[in-house]
Structure 1
Amino acid sequence: MKTQTKLWAVVPAAGSGSRFSKTELKQYQYIHNHTVLEHTVNRLNSLDLAGCVLAIGEQDSFAQTLSFQHQHKLHFCTGGEERVHSVLNALTYLSEIADEDDWVLVHDAARPCVAEDCLRRLVQSAQDSNQSAILAIPVRDTLKYVASQNQIEKTVSRESLWQAQTPQMAKLGVLKHAIQTALAEQITITDEASALEHVNEAVQVVQGRSDNIKITYKDDLELARLILQTQTHS
């Protein structure tokens, strides 16, 4: 009899985040006495994870000193040059300790505000349909296509357009194969779903929330601080 599939998380945290700062890593900025990375991993730990793999920089000696919930479930591996390489390294690490049919959630290190109810709905949806899934939100604003010199060329219909978020969830073996294939064929991989799409793997969207922001610029840090404060008291 086949054993029940487990749920794992992967957090690529080796990036330099040059848009945030040339010298400071955004995942190690503090919000309410904890780093962004601690907030992010602790949110994921609200799920019943078999384990969480953090892909960190080769010279990173700080991540393993942090205080995470469920510390015993944490694993560390060396990240890669780009986010996609860090994810692949973590999936390769996982392949040694997990089954290829186990589920994997890949989540940005700089998304500390993902709501627990969104995490649960994403997992439930993927498992119920046996299909890869991502959190996303419908595009709300009017979109303009600007080709050059800041001149609007046309308005783009937002109908059917969704803004991708993370976590993004797939079977370990399926996702690893998709990323390896896309990289070998020199396809630009901006998220896990784009690799899955390339190998014609069905991916569904699960509606998330607009407060699942990704910290990209310095002013995002203050916004994340306010969101976390609101979520704590709601």
Structure 2
Amino acid sequence: MKTKLWAIVPAAGSGSRFSKTELKQYQYIQSQTVLEHTVNRLNTLDLAGCVLAIGEQDNFAKTLSFQHLDKLHYCIGGVERVHSVLNALIYLSDIADENDWVLVHDAARPCVTANCLEKLVLSSVQSNQSSILAIPVRDTLKHVQANDQIERTVSREHLWQAQTPQMAKLKTLKHAIEAALAAQINITDEASALEYIGEAVQVVQGRSDNIKITYTDDLELARLVLLSQTN
């Protein structure tokens, strides 16, 4: 049986750093929401399906005009991003094979390119191991004390900035997140859970324009990136 590729988009977060009242994934860029841009980028891959983990009170997501609506699934998200991802993995366990591949991608990363997505999938499938998009750190890093005083410069050699998507086998990722949560490990991305169980994870070099919309001014940057990619 041919292994399939599924996507998970945790989209239940409140995004408090963006705004106390407005969700960043539902801001508009070029007449589409950020979430529509994000999901439609993922749909450039040959997905078996895409699971959106949304808030319990979210009545908006299902009204959006996603491409390949027939491949879209919904589940209720959790308190934190990691709980949303786990809920989606549990949902997938009923409809997917445990050896199927899963891509987890941030709802607020609408600028990931089709080429980067293809590179990531090819890398995982060919090596048969988990992988993430990332870029080498290029700026000088400072370790700063509580009073905003620089303590030292941190070597950026061997340092990479993690992005998404992050890709793993369904059973592996589900086990990793459950084990890390049980041990109360701080799980900031899927790779951190995989690292906890000793799973090998490789980096696949992405692009610096695969930005995550975190603050309000990031929205304008994403708008410019999407415009430049379209042109």
* TM-score normalised by length of structure 2: 1.00
Structure 2, gaps ≥5 residues long: none
Output the aligned Cα RMSD: 0.3
Instruction: Determine the C-alpha separation between the residues in 2 that align with 1:8 and 1:148.
Output: 43
Equivalent in 35, 48, 59 of residue 46 of structure 2? 48
Structure 1 residue identity aligned to 2:6: W
Is 2:128 aligned against 1:130?
yes
Matches of 2:113 and 2:62, distance apart in 1: 25
| CA distance in structure 1 between the partners assigned to 2:20 and 2:84 by the alignment | 20
Tell me the SS of whatever aligns to 2:228.
helix
Please give the alpha-carbon distance, in whole angstroms, between the structure 1 residues aligned to 2:18 and 2:206.
Answer: 24
Which residue pairs with 2:69 in the alignment?
71
| Alpha-carbon distance in structure 2 between the residues aligned to 1:148 and 1:192 | 29
The CA distance in 2 between the partners of 1:176 and 1:148, in whole Å, is 37
What's the offset of the Cα at 1:147?
Answer: 2.1
Task: Indicate yes or no: 2:229 matched with 1:231.
Answer: yes
1:1-234 → structure 2 map (5 Å cutoff): 3-233=1-231
Q: Runs of 5+ in structure 1 lacking a partner?
A: none
SS at match of 1:175: helix
Identity score, percent: 79
> What amino acid sits opposite 1:197 in the alignment?
E
Counterpart secondary structure, 1:148? coil
Whole-Å separation in 2 of the counterparts to 1:45 and 1:102: 17
Number of aligned residue pairs? 231
SS, match of residue 204 in structure 2: strand
Instruction: Give the Cα separation in 1 of the matches to 2:33 and 2:152.
Output: 42
> Normalising to structure 1: TM-score of the pair?
0.98
Deviations 1:187-208 (A, max 9, x none): 0000000000000000000000
1:148 Cα offset (Å): 1.8
